Copies of this chain bind each other. A is one copy, B any other.
Amino acid sequence: MAKQQSKLPEFAPLARDEISPALANSPCAACTVRQQSVCASLDDNELERLAAISRAMYVAAGSTIFNEGDPADYLFNVTDGVIKLYKLLADGREQVTGFLFPGDFIGLALKDSYSYSAEAISAVRLCKMKRSQFRDVLAVTPRLEHRLLSVASNELAQAQDQMLLLGRKTAREKIVSFFLQLAERRDKSRQAQINAGAELESSKFDEDVVELPMGRADIADYLGLTTETVSRTLTQLKTDGSIQLLDNHQVRLGGRESLREIAQGL
């Protein structure tokens, strides 16, 4: 579970303790996911307001961040690690509504209490804000509100894609769609880092290898399947050459175009 953290023995860039409210030594200024998150739209002045109400928070792999029904007093920005959001039925059936990666924001779809639970899949670093304070900042930061609306728009469109997947796709189509989602997500955040001037060792980077930070059970609960079906479908995809499984948490995709056709039912 702590596998993909081996490269990050510590979360290097940020101090582990309380964050200073002044921007000068605010972690936001050096935030590694600034360009990808809701903060991307803000100028220094505005960012300072957010920094003033943000606190870093560290969560170990496997632990719960909050549960559906808890009073929704805090919002979060994921800055490192992977999180799953999920809902439960009374008898324990689980639906994962999304996986969150660095740059993602938690707190759009909420009323007074959280409408889903959140659990850390890997070790996670979060930027935590009191909801009441966030609301105050929001009220005087129209650009932030605008940005949130656009984020919400995107999530809504994604949610609709997921409905199509859950309601109408076969197991095979679901799994392939999922891999393509992950690949596109990865591409996009890579691109954002490059645009921000980061130096990525583009040499030893394989375009077609996708990380699967989560286990089979989480994949199954995301796609409306069982672990057994996920497993069987993977070996089937492996057998017909659509993918290779490097290990349990890494797939190499064999040709995005043909995979895209599988995902659409062609």
- List A residues at the B interface (Cβ < 8 Å): 87, 89-91, 93-95, 97, 108-111, 115-116, 142, 145-146, 148-149, 152-153, 155-157, 159-164, 166-169, 221, 223-224, 264-266
Contacts and interface: CB of A to CB of B under 8 A. Distances in A.
B156 A152 contact: yes
A104 B105 CA distance: 26
B167 A265 contact: no
Contact of A89 (B108, B162, B169): B169
Nearest to A94: B168
A116 B221 CA distance: 25
23 contacts: A87-B163, A89-B164, A89-B168, A89-B169, A90-B265, A90-B266, A91-B265, A95-B163, A95-B167, A97-B163, A108-B156, A110-B153, A115-B160, A116-B160, A142-B145, A145-B145, A145-B149, A152-B153, A155-B156, A156-B159, A166-B167, A166-B224, A167-B224
